[in-house]
Amino acid sequence: MEDNKFQPYIPADKVMPEFTVFSVVLGIILAVVFGAANAYLGLRVGLTVSASIPAAVISMGVIRFIFKRDSILENNMVQTIGSAGESLAAGVIFTMPALFMWAQEGVCNMPSLIDLSLIALCGGLLGVFMMLPLRKALIVKEHGVLGYPEGTACAEVLMAGEEGGAKASTVFAGLGIAAAYKFIADGLMIFPSEINWDIDAYKGSAFGVDVLPALAGVGYICGARVSSYMFAGGVLAWFVFMPLVALFGSDLVIYPADVSVSELFAQAGPSGLWSKFIRYIGAGALATGGILSLVKNLPMMVSTFRVAFKDYGKGSAGTLRTEQDMSLKAAVIAAVVVCLFIGFYPGIPTNLMGALIILIFGFFFATVSSRMVGMIGSSNNPVSGMAIATLLIATILLKATGNVGGVGMVAAISCGSVICIIAAMAGDMSQDLKTGFLVGATPKKQQYGEIIGSIAAAIAIGAILTLLNNAWGFGSDKLPAPQATMMKMVVEGVMGGNLPWAMIFVGVFTALFFEVLGLPVLPIAIGIYLPIHLSAGIMVGGVVRWIVEKRKYANEEAKTNAVQSGILYTSGMIAGEGIMGILLAVLAVIKVNGTPVGNIIDLSSHINLGNIGGAVAFALLVVTMFLFVKRGNRAAKE
């Protein structure tokens, strides 16, 4: 066996329905639905939600309660295929809308539906092929080290649904409470899901929390250590870097801001400083942290490749079901073929230089993303930060080789699109394979499922982007596409020679500083890059986990039961917010008499509890976490 100490929920010698026609068809439907919903959500607010747990919950409901089928591995296959749509959509919407915006400005032609789908498909397939050799190194050998919060939570949801009883009720209680909470906050808008306070006495600083169930859930599953590193990065950005920019750079005008720091601060407050300046520091730190992570893990990766190629040709005879992977040799050949297609196909606006960049940096960021989601989860995976680093490098190389102006910019954003999708897909696949590792799925079949989900979502995503652009236009108030707008500005900045390199190098040397101190760079860099509101929400969940673990218990088993009950409940919280987030995205598209349903149910003009109401609601949510931990401990005793 790969790991003699770990026994999955379904033993390796037990065969159950898994890769069936039923699970594939249902998975494809969910891949398209989640891909569409997350594309719209990301284009509106710049963030997407993980679909693994919602897909698992929906799968259980359809397979177990409607069709009376009973196979946890079949449920797992549905969520594997379904979540591929969400991750592919996340990579697409962070970059590709820039092509539409340039077309409107006359820089390039409007991208066709077929070409958009082909770019998305190439990225999705490469993400699967490039993550494949990392499974044993990250999922198996580092089991117990890398938590993979959504993957672990998804496994808990599946196993709880299988076992029923107290475990299932705990998961679904978390799901229901979080869904209701999300609907009240972001549907009815009775209180804001993000609370913020600008600190006037300390100019440039601010503090806030995204009072959302999923963040607290991710923080609990990740634990206090990882959560505190992320929060430390947020504190450094919002209480050190931003006040310094406000203090010493008041008359400074730096691209992409078209006004001075003082004018920007007057218009947008501290958040303006973060979006225009600090994110570049975070991008530099993320890129450096990724390179350092790659260097550190290079021996393990080389060893993994060597073992995988050495075993090639032996077939699967004598290999346990839970150890079987797709052929690594076939995956490498397929990845090279896809990159050559990207370089030669005229509908994808890049060249062989761009294809080489994709091959090299695609694998680099697939590795970084796969490890990063193991620490902080897919929902908080800063794919856009990796895309920024990619665009910086790609644009510089393309410019140096004579690809300038509109042609160079379109080629750079095309490279960035594919690599962004690769990173998103690799991260999602890591979570899915972790779920499969815990429940006892067949890795090879899951990898086939990821390919199917990528194909289904890629076919749909071109039509979705075209439809949304025709309806509202990217960059408009109704569809601001914040991430893609930033990517567009990065490429234009490099081509125009006015990118704030000083900010990027501040991030580079900040990362090196923490590396010298022996601290983990990536979670700190993520905290710098993301708003402090996110890391503060995650930190709350980490603190709850710390308190639960530090309490006195009758014995070690009682402690384990209490912690486990918290994981079940917070897994349900993540699922509840994910499902309700997708539902709200759908309601924002559906119109009644020309008005989106989302606007109709908005009660903020009548009832608005403000920041205080949001803080109180979040505090009550945290109290429910402690209550279900206590309930789990009591049930274990009984």
DSSP for 127-188, please give it.
HHHHHGGGIIIIIITTBTTB--HHHHHHHHHHHHHHH-HHHHHHHHHHHHHHHHHHIIIIIS
Asked whether the beta carbons of 282 and 525 are under 8 A apart, the reply is yes
Asked whether the beta carbons of 90 and 42 are under 8 A apart, the reply is yes
Chain center to CA of 62: 26
Q: What's the pLDDT at 633?
A: 60
Which range, 79-93, 460-474, 546-560, is most confident? 79-93
Which residue would you say has higher pLDDT here, 393 or 586?
Answer: 393
- Can you tell me whether residue 215 is helix, strand or coil? helix
In which band, very low, low, confident or very high, does the pLDDT at 520 lie, cut at 50, 70 and 90?
Answer: confident
Indicate whether 309 pLDDT > 70: no
What CA–CA distance (Å, rounded) separates 111 from 123?
A: 17
Bridge partners of 595?
Answer: 592
At residue 363, φ and ψ (nearest 5 deg) are -65, -40
Total residue count of the chain as it appears in this document? 638
Q: What's the pLDDT at 6?
A: 78
CA angle 514, 518, 521 (to 5 degrees): 45
Domain boundaries, the chain: 21-637
What CA–CA distance (Å, rounded) separates 111 from 121?
A: 15
Indicate whether 627 pLDDT > 80: yes
Q: What's the pLDDT at 3?
A: 46
382-426 residue pLDDT tens: 676 677 777 888 888 888 888 888 888 988 898 889 998 998 899
Sign of CA dihedral 381, 162, 73, 147: positive
Sign of CA dihedral 510, 512, 518, 520: positive
77: its two tokens: 């296959």
Which residue would you say has higher pLDDT here, 306 or 215?
Answer: 215
Bridge partners of 197?
Answer: 207
What CA–CA distance (Å, rounded) separates 236 from 226?
A: 16
Average pLDDT, the chain: 82
Q: What's the pLDDT at 371?
A: 81
Q: What's the pLDDT at 531?
A: 84
How many other C-beta atoms can be found within 10 angstroms of the C-beta atom of residue 482? Answer: 18
pLDDT (average), residues 559-579: 79
421: its two tokens: 């999708």
Q: What's the pLDDT at 478?
A: 65
Residues with Cβ within 8 Å of 152's Cβ and at least 6 positions away in sequence, in order, are 221, 434, 435, 438, 567, 571
Q: What's the pLDDT at 2?
A: 47
Please state, for a pLDDT cut of 90, what percent of the chain lies above it.
20
Tokens 């494949």 belong to: 132
Sign of CA dihedral 357, 362, 363, 365: positive
Q: What's the pLDDT at 1?
A: 41
In which band, very low, low, confident or very high, does the pLDDT at 121 lie, cut at 50, 70 and 90?
Answer: very high
What CA–CA distance (Å, rounded) separates 354 from 343?
A: 7
In which band, very low, low, confident or very high, does the pLDDT at 118 lie, cut at 50, 70 and 90?
Answer: very high
Which residue would you say has higher pLDDT here, 107 or 589?
Answer: 107
Angle between helix 532-550 and helix 224-236 axes, rounded to 10 deg: 150
pLDDT (average), residues 567-581: 78
421-450 residue pLDDT tens: 998 899 889 999 999 999 999 999 999 999
